[in-house]
Amino acid sequence: MGVRLLMLLWALTGAAMAAQPPVPAPLPRSGLAFASADVRALQADDFANPGMLWVDRGAKLWNSPAGASGQSCAGCHREAVISMKGVAARYPRFDREAGMVLNLEARINRCRSTRQQAEPLVWESEALLALTAHVAHQSRGQAFVPARDAQSLEAAARGREQYVRRQGQMNLACTHCHDRLAGRRLLAETISEGQGNGYPAYRLEWQGLGSLQRRLRACFTGVRAEAPPYGAPELVELELYLAQRSGPLGIETPAVRR
């Protein structure tokens, strides 16, 4: 009787568990969710948000001729507010002509070199940050649209491998902080989930605008690992994985962060 009773209880428990809906995975949270009230207010006000200065500078560059072609970005793409809407939500992705995965900065530079016949802008330069911010700003509120081609998926998988791999003298992986410790305090800062949907972003500690790659390189340095150079494939692949990981989060460029 005891065995039969246990089997009956096990069957009833299993049936009850099967009848319950699965627990949904928690939705990703923007870094804004971990920011203080003053930072959130600063980002929400386009007149006060200091990152909008770069967006405005980018608008001027968008309409300025460059290179041997004498063409401006607007000469091909017209008004960015129309033609660039949704573009940032599709990057990083594999570019067939380039034969590699490009993030938005690299896509802008490739357009400069191949279409305008101009020198590529230096990574993290004010001009490249401004153009990137201006283009990305046109997609504000739109979620990332993941590419489904084999090359992009393979690159995202390599980015995930980096995200979970221990690195540096501190033997830590991105997941240790941004998945396991999100919401906890690290000195004066609250650890976020490490989402990149707000970049290029204005960080108060930088007193300026910076790219996602700048932030990623700072994390490499933080765990005492050698930071890849700007534009390195491993950084772009990590960017791509973070974009896929952000799920339904909308682009916030230019975000404000502590």
Print pLDDT tens along the chain (258 aa).
444 433 443 443 344 344 444 445 578 999 999 999 999 999 999 999 999 999 999 999 999 999 999 999 999 999 999 999 999 999 999 999 999 999 999 999 999 999 999 999 999 999 999 999 999 999 999 999 999 999 999 999 999 999 999 999 999 999 999 999 999 988 778 999 999 999 999 999 999 999 999 999 999 999 999 999 999 999 999 999 999 999 999 999 999 999
The catalytic residue positions are: 219
Say what the pLDDT of residue 26 is: 77
Say what the pLDDT of residue 25 is: 58
Say what the pLDDT of residue 3 is: 41
Q: What is the pTM of this model?
A: 0.88
What is the rounded CA–CA span in Å between residue 217 and residue 209? 15
Buried b (16+ CB within 10 A) or exposed e, 8-42: eeeeeeeeeeeeeeeeeeeebebbbebbeeebeeb
Q: Give the chain's domains with CATH numbers.
A: 31-49+143-257 (1.10.760.10), 53-137 (1.10.760.10)
**Cα Rg of the chain (Å, integer):** 22
Cβ proximity of 145 and 89 under 8 Å: yes
Say what the pLDDT of residue 16 is: 39
Side chain identity at residue 204, one-letter code: L
